Amino acid sequence: MKVILAGAGAFGIKHLDAIKNIDGIEVVAVVGRKLEATKKVATTYNISLATTDLAEALAAPGVKAAILATPTQMHAAQAIQCMKAGVHVQVEIPLANNWSDAQAVMDTQMETGLVCMVGHTRRFNPSHQWVHNKIVTGNLSVQQMDVQTYFFRRQNMNAKGEPRSWTDHLLWHHAAHSVDLFLYQTGEDVVEANIMQGPIHGELGIAMDMSIQLRTTTGKLLTLSLSFNNEGPLGTFFRYIGDKGTYIARYDDLLNGHEEPVDVSAVDVSMNGIELQDREFFNAIRDNREPNSSVAKVLPCYKILHGLEGKLKESV
């Protein structure tokens, strides 16, 4: 399967490294903002075409699928562009940074019938898969998810410590991971949602601290704390408080409530959540089926984010 990658930054590299482990996939073009830097990535990964033009990459012979790891503000328009070019697309989280754009992507997917998958990686991490399997088999019911998403980003830097050309967002990006996972793991609708945010950063123009609380129809709770001000361990840490156990997920690793490791090595074919996410995308195309984390399946998350954003605007 011939694939293109748009976005040759920190997360695009994660996808290229993951794809090296997947048989039958050939990355034939990489798209970046700066041509020289993009050419270096293409050379490193033996990719024949490096370009700054997504349309040129989509027009390469035999291209069947695209992965978008571009800045958030470009996701919706580029996902639509890919599908209108007849190409299946996986767009990295978040799908969009507003509700109308998210709806537009959904509309285009329905019109074209192509696979459109969103990179909600937490659905694929072995740690969260292990918990999900216990839920599906009736061996665990989540009562509360307590989640901390902490980074130190008082300057506009990416995960590699390099300057970013765009500004990240706690609500539309980082909260999307946890809100979608909460819906996925509880299988229930959210009936109450609250949000508070700290001061707006004078240079970045975004809130650096945020608190979100959700409640489902049966009273299951999500308590989510997010910060770009945290000096300490970075990343997102999930505590599942259930009726039959407590579990702590840190990316692909899982502990029980006593900080004892849980073996999740047999959950899937890899311990790399990004690789498992990409495998699902390619398999869904081959099998002509809807993937886990399709645009339709994650859209309720973005509707909740839209509602939370509205509450923030009302509170100003």
CATH topology of domain 125-267: Dihydrodipicolinate Reductase; domain 2 (3.30.360)
pLDDT along the chain (316 residues), means of 10: 95 97 98 96 98 98 98 96 98 97 98 98 98 98 96 62 64 95 98 96 86 98 95 89 97 96 97 97 98 98 98 87
The pLDDT, as a whole number, for residue 163 is 57
Q: According to the model, what pLDDT value does residue 206 have?
A: 83
pLDDT at 162: 60
The predicted structure's pLDDT at residue 288: 98
Supply the pLDDT for residue 153.
65
Q: Where are the alpha helices (DSSP H) in the chain?
A: 10-19, 35-44, 54-58, 75-84, 99-112, 126-136, 175-186, 273-287, 295-315
In the chain, where the domains are located: 2-119+274-292, 125-267
- What sign does the dihedral 121-5-97-108 (CA atoms) show? negative
Q: How many CA atoms lie within 13 A of 233 on its CB side?
A: 7
Q: How far apart are CA 240 and CA 237, in angstroms?
A: 10
Handedness of CA 40, 38, 92, 80 (dihedral sign): negative
Bridge partner residues of 196 (DSSP): 211
144 contacts 246 by C-beta, under 8 angstroms: no
pLDDT of residue 219: 98
CATH of the domain spanning 2-119+274-292: 3.40.50.720
